[in-house]
Amino acid sequence: MHYGPRAFLSIQAKRRDPFAQLLVGPRRGIEPYPAIERIRGRGRVVHTPFAWVTADHEICRTILRDNRFIASPPEELDLPRPLPWVLSKTDPKITNPVEPPSMLMIDPPEHTRHRHAVARTFTPRAIGQLHGRVEQLTDQLLDELAAKQRPDLIRDFALQLPAAVISEILGMPEEHRPQMLEWGESGAPLLDLGLSWRTFQRAMAGLRSADDYLSAHIERLRAAPGDNLLSELVANDELSKRELMSTASLLIGAGFETTVNLIGAGFVLLAAHPDQLAMLRADPTRWPAAVDEILRFDSPVQMTARTAGCDIELAGKRIPEGAMIVPLIGGANRDPGVFADPDIFDISRSNAKEHLSFGSGIHSCLGASLARMEGAIALQALFDRFPDLRLDGQPKRRALVTLRGYDSLPVTLAPSD
Ligand code: HEM
């Protein structure tokens, strides 16, 4: 059974199914937490017409760590799959970060081999070496921000830093960066279940253009390797050309928009909580903890999905083989059983790091330490450079469900007097 979920979900949303409301309701992507709390109120694991769903921290973690819940739904299971996923199969040659052989969408043993090959280049040492470069790029971007007439924190800073870092990891020249920004922008909605046909077509056009680019780019790096992680991965010769393209497109898909959202959410939260910002100014060693609290409070990735590979008993419910289950990461991060007063933003909370914003288990985020580093460097440098930085207009949310962030944050850098 294959169907486009949007119309179906709209009917469910009208019937007040809280999961459908989260996916397609009027506050879709803007204010997810009331619907998440309604789901939590219905139980630890909730059966909805579209999928099983949970906002329970322990259950989310269990699902992500239990390999009976698989990332790649076997083709022989006749699963209800969102229309875009089905349609993307009409062009199976296109590298799609949310289709195999993307490591995010495969299971052991292929996942183990693929992930090890990438992790061998993406080492803590290699990431640590990027520290100075991230500081340098941040300073440069803040200089450029200072020169803007009407600065927008997303467009002029939060988007630019992760884009620059990922393009350096991939060995992409600076002049190709705008193209990458376009792929990130058009591709992000692919993670949502209820996207429109127009958005889907734009995303597929982006994937097609990224596909052509990455294929030629990998051959360029094979012929003339540079000092970057993708060149190393190509030279190691452990992944096929298609796997290399898939890894590069996943790094763009998973590592770019998410970090933009961390920086954007961090700015909004700290601007709205001057007491917390004052604590950071008094003691800058608190920045890493603050980044974890930002990640907990407003997770840039709000949900993921798995398929039950067999019948599985979970919190007294039987999840049948082939059923889709959605761990609501943003909900797990606000589980009152784990985080006291979860709706309060508090950088001094002792267990913020227990958030699931980077997932858990074998698919846990490969770029977590890079993202934490970028978030801390960017936000600290931003508030240090512009002590009077504040919002100057309405923040505009991106109306996406899976990836949570802002489209636009108009700011004033200094008092106008
Ligand atoms: C996986 C979140 C930044 C690369 C994941 C997953 C989450 C996540 C939740 C697991 C998804 C699942 O289990 O279904 C984030 C957040 C980020 C971030 C919130 C920033 C704040 C990055 C960066 C990179 C990256 C900077 C690399 C440059 C990856 C990769 C995977 C992944 C390769 C797939 C791992 C696997 O399947 O084995 N990320 N991520 N991420 N992330 Fe990130």
CA–CA gap between residue 390 and residue 409 (Å, rounded):
10
For the CA of 262, the nearest atom of ligand 1? 21
Residue of minimum CA distance from atom 26 in ligand 1: 255
pLDDT digits (tens, 9 = 90+) for 321-350: 989 999 999 999 999 999 999 999 999 999
> Encoding tokens for residue 247?
């890894």
pLDDT band at residue 82 using 50, 70 and 90 as cut-offs:
low
Query: Who has greater pLDDT, 189 or 216?
Result: 216
Between 1-5, 20-24, 151-155, 317-321, the lowest mean confidence (pLDDT) is in: 1-5
Give alpha helix (H) positions in 273-336: 274-282, 287-297, 329-332
CA–CA gap between residue 169 and residue 167 (Å, rounded):
5
Thinking of the domain 5-412, which architecture would CATH place it in? Orthogonal Bundle (1.10)
For the CA of 162, the nearest atom of ligand 1? 26
Domain ranges of the chain: 5-412
In three-state secondary structure terms, 184 is helix
In three-state secondary structure terms, 194 is coil
The pLDDT assigned to 92 comes to 65
Burial class (CB in 10 A: 0-12, 13-18, 19+), 225: middle
Residue of minimum CA distance from atom 43 in ligand 1: 365
Q: What is this model's ipTM?
A: 0.99
Long-range Cβ contact pairs of 134-140 (< 8 A, separation 24 or more)? 134/161, 134/165, 134/373, 134/374, 134/377, 134/378, 135/377, 135/381, 137/161, 137/164, 137/165, 138/377, 138/378, 138/381, 138/382, 139/381
Beta-strand ranges (E) seen in 68-108 are 69-70
Q: What percent of the chain has pLDDT over 90?
A: 77
Residue of minimum CA distance from atom 42 in ligand 1: 365
CA 358 / ligand 1 centre spacing (Å): 6
Contact between 2 and 86 (Cβ < 8 Å) = yes
For the CA of 247, the nearest atom of ligand 1? 33
CA–CA gap between residue 261 and residue 191 (Å, rounded):
15
In three-state secondary structure terms, 274 is helix
CA 400 / ligand 1 centre spacing (Å): 17
CB 300 less than 6 A from any atom of ligand 1: yes
Pocket probe for ligand 1: among 365, 377, 406, the residue whose CB has the most ligand atoms within 8 Å is 365
Instruction: Please state the φ and ψ torsions of residue 152, each to the nearest 5 degrees.
Output: -120, 120
